[in-house]
Chain A
């Protein structure tokens, strides 16, 4: 769209740049890598130009102009860093800090706070006000989000998110002037499936998620680009991890998938996935009990058992398993005859984000149901029914087997259980292989609209747990099927070569933003 517009020349801080007509000064400056400080401006929301932080000097203008709304004009000469603009910013920072509690040491936003950042960058060293600060207190706005009125800078990003993106304008500035605060119009808390985005848009620590409150300092978190596995939407996220635990998910902007947003369900559910009793070592059955052994001997046992197997293989898989895991599983099953793979998807009601309807909490509460389908696994309501009467080899991949019939796994030739957690039903397995959860490995998921997206490893897998694409590719090599994969990229490459829908895609090309399969549209469409 930009290409259709006329280009105009502006000079910002002495650098000339050509930008399409209609761009704001702030956007034009970003093209030059100049980030003009801002609070109320958010790229996905309307700009009310009210925080006055982004004021810049424009030659010929009688007073400083708000760069977030002021459109560039041909020949415009802008200074973002002259004495006048700096003084204006310093003034705004001083005003914002007048009644600010400066409770950074106990504030969740410390370290990721725009007020803190800009105060250090442009603020003054000494407080000139001798007046005591106004104390307003705190309150819940939803059952999970706490509002600290004293820290609030009234940028109204949260108000605008609810109005423009959630399209449920429940938040409002109450009162006016310095008495203003953010609240709902009633005494009730509000509920919205995307409510926690107001925490993300808050540039300071005024709106905080109670679940994360006091859990970690933001600078102690490791941040990893990942994909939310909560549903088939595949929101791009940043995993915040600390001490081998996922402590939070934050949306990672992707205009094709989730813009700047993600749902509350995703944040709430998946942070707990690593909890529970984990499978940490490979085990094989010796007479009537499972015995822990090392990977090398476990794979020996696996290869030997499969070589001797006479019946074909059926599998129950998780729709949350990665494409590479499913692909290597399928390849392995084919060595003894693929007789069918099945998965069940837990569903819930769909919740569309009205202001950005591309994004919804999808009915399928699993990340890779589509990927499993494309690999020939079959979606069924009752997975155990599909295995009734099967006497050959049974694989179970990352499926907890809750609700499995009591005799599940009995009377089959070989039962191989691959899982991140120890499930009671795994007790009957002949071989148990520990695998990581999604946060502990890397790979790809294919979302509901055939978009392939990469997630990166954020945590170390516990004990000897090892990604399935790795262990199975070793087993496959021993069964005479080529060389083992040395990377996920290689595993995906082999998958793309074998499965037509992924042709033209490579792990590198998918990158951090994902790419759609040929079936979902041409590569050009993916770039657009």
Chain B
């Protein structure tokens, strides 16, 4: 069975076995070369593993793009306190569905990455904090963890190396904010998933007050390949600052939505038009959100850029989680933004005043504009509320809610003014 869409221009490293049911079980995975990297890593010094990952330039795939090896190197090495690894599998960014597929088709790729990372940061216990709604994936992972224990890849004295690791799959209880790394740690501890004030950073005080590294699923899934083949192998793809390949979850008004894996120097426009087939017949592309709903919208003529972290940033947005949302000219931008803001309103944990109150106020104003009851002064008001929210809170959810509002006003003010002046929508339905 082939994975829904495969495109010859893809570079399938992480997603090589998507659609291959035989790769899910541990035997099939070992046949395909699995756990070789682990054996190699366990033969290396812990810090040497971190060095390889550092050299590879692998950057966090959860959205922030922080260099993974550097993050690992913050972990204390004195062994005074137990170190933990938390794999962030709470994939909830609107438009993003890559981690789900990585865990669905290649659970052992993720687990192998977790074991290697745990070894490198001297963790004795690792957690997979997985989004509770991924019921089927939780089953897949639980099965894979049992298999890994049976084969001696988990537990005491892994492959005779003397290193031991326990791995727990922890299903979350349904909140977007549990995907924020410190919110995740609170949720893991059984508290409300409210982000913590940093500092202290998780590497100082993380899960249960102990030094903890939190890595995204895709980041960890990239690790076995890097350790097995070396940093240079990984750097054959992408750019100097953004090496490697990345999965893009493409959705919205596209002819062939789905997950596509491309090197990070791939052209965004080609990704949209070539791999995904562009907008449906007879439609014009209006805009693209390249990295999940928390990043600024790019207009159709802004997308001729690299998909690298720096390439998309130069175009005026962020790579984020790689959740690409395409919108064609049938889209009512006010409505689309209203829907996104309603999501953040629903998901705000409510700790910080600007986020708790600002998200719901933005949603109310946008609903009013959409109904045709907007006022011209609502435009500067929305921008000012956005300014009072962005950068004023513990975590970036507040910024994320303000981003679509501010960027859509900057780029699609006509649509807003159309609603306000004519009381209607300009979208071509």
Which residues on A are within 8 Å of B, measured CB to CB? 48-53, 55, 62-64, 66, 69, 87-88, 91-92, 94-96, 98-99, 128-131, 153-154, 173, 175-180
Contacts and interface: CB of A to CB of B under 8 A. Distances in A.
A176 B388 contact: no
A124 B301 CA distance: 41
Given A52-B352, A52-B393, A180-B350, 15 more contacts: A51-B353, A55-B392, A62-B391, A69-B197, A91-B387, A91-B388, A129-B361, A154-B356, A175-B350, A176-B175, A177-B345, A177-B347, A177-B359, A178-B356, A178-B360
A95 B353 contact: yes
Nearest to A71: B199
B192 interface: yes
A90 to B, nearest CB: 8
B353 A99 contact: no
A63 B352 contact: no
B394 interface: yes
Contacts of B345: 177-178
B364 interface: yes
Nearest to B357: A95
19 contacts: A48-B197, A50-B352, A51-B352, A52-B354, A52-B392, A53-B353, A55-B392, A64-B391, A69-B197, A92-B354, A95-B388, A98-B361, A129-B361, A130-B375, A154-B353, A176-B348, A177-B345, A177-B360, A180-B350
Contacts of B361: 95, 98, 129, 131
A131 B197 contact: no
Contacts, number: 92
B39 interface: no
Majority SS at the chain A contact face: loop
A229 B269 CA distance: 78
B44 interface: no
Contacts of A178: 345, 348, 350, 356-357, 359-360
Which one of A64, A130, A153, A176 has the highest number of Cβ atoms from chain B below 10 Å of its Cβ?
Answer: A176
Nearest to A155: B353
Given A50-B352, A178-B345, A64 B368 contact: no
B349 interface: yes
Contacts of B175: 176
Contacts of B352: 50-52
A88 B398 CA distance: 14
Contacts of B348: 176-178
Q: Which 5 A-B pairs have the closest CB atoms?
A: A91-B388, A95-B357, A63-B391, A177-B348, A50-B351
Interface in B389-427: 389, 391-394
B365 interface: yes
A131 B387 CA distance: 20
B350 A131 contact: no
A131 B364 contact: yes
Contacts of B354: 52, 91-92, 95
Contacts of A173: 192, 350
A131 B368 contact: yes
Contacts of B349: 176-177
Contacts of A50: 351-353, 394
Given A64-B392, A131-B361, A173-B192, A52 B353 contact: yes
